[in-house]
Amino acid sequence: MKKLAILSLSLISAAAFATGPGNGGSSSPQINVNAPSVQITSLSHSSLQNTASGNAAARQNVASNTGNVTIDALSLQIASVRDSGVSNEASNDAAATQNLATNMGKVNVTGGQLQLVSLRNAYVGNSASGRSSAVQNVSSNNGCQVCN
């Protein structure tokens, strides 16, 4: 029961950071933490999928910040994946972006930070076809705001 509660809270937390289709990056959210920040997502026997098709955009952020990201202090971002599949796919002129324990945007951390994706018996996939773009960041910082 405790694991179920932690998983539920993790998924709710991840959903809070997920953003819908953008408008070309002109109104990227400002994220300025300026204090210790902890983001943890734990998946077990699960499937986490991000798919866009047909001139669409799909963005999925798991234990991640996306936008202009500042932080300025200790930040701990953890995605723990066990016996699960994580995939990101774009087709037919679409763009899909998936971030796991990642900061994406201009990214200024200037402090201690640990970004960890722990995988056990897990699959992580990223694919694009038909003039599409699939960007997947795992335990990383990506300064590009409109990489799709």
pTM of the shown model:
0.68
pLDDT at 38: 85
Domain-embedded: residue 148: no
Domain-embedded: residue 69: yes
Domain-embedded: residue 74: yes
Residues composing the chain: 148
pLDDT at 29: 61
Domain count across the chain: 1
Domain-embedded: residue 54: yes
pLDDT in tens, 2-57: 554 444 444 444 433 333 333 344 454 677 777 777 889 999 999 999 999 999 99
| Dist CA 88 CA 107 (whole Å) | 22
pLDDT at 147: 61
pLDDT at 26: 42
Domain-embedded: residue 10: yes
pLDDT at 13: 43
In this prediction, residues 89-110 reach a mean pLDDT of 87
Binned at pLDDT 50, 70 and 90, residue 146 comes out as low
Kindly report the average pLDDT of the chain as a whole number: 77
Considering only CA atoms, which of 44, 42, 136 is closest in space to residue 85? 44
Domain-embedded: residue 147: no
According to DSSP H, which parts of the chain are helical?
2-17
pLDDT at 80: 93
Strand order in the sheet with 65-67: 65-67, 103-105, 141-142
Per the structure, the complete domain to which residue 93 belongs is given by: 2-20+28-142
pLDDT at 74 over 70: yes
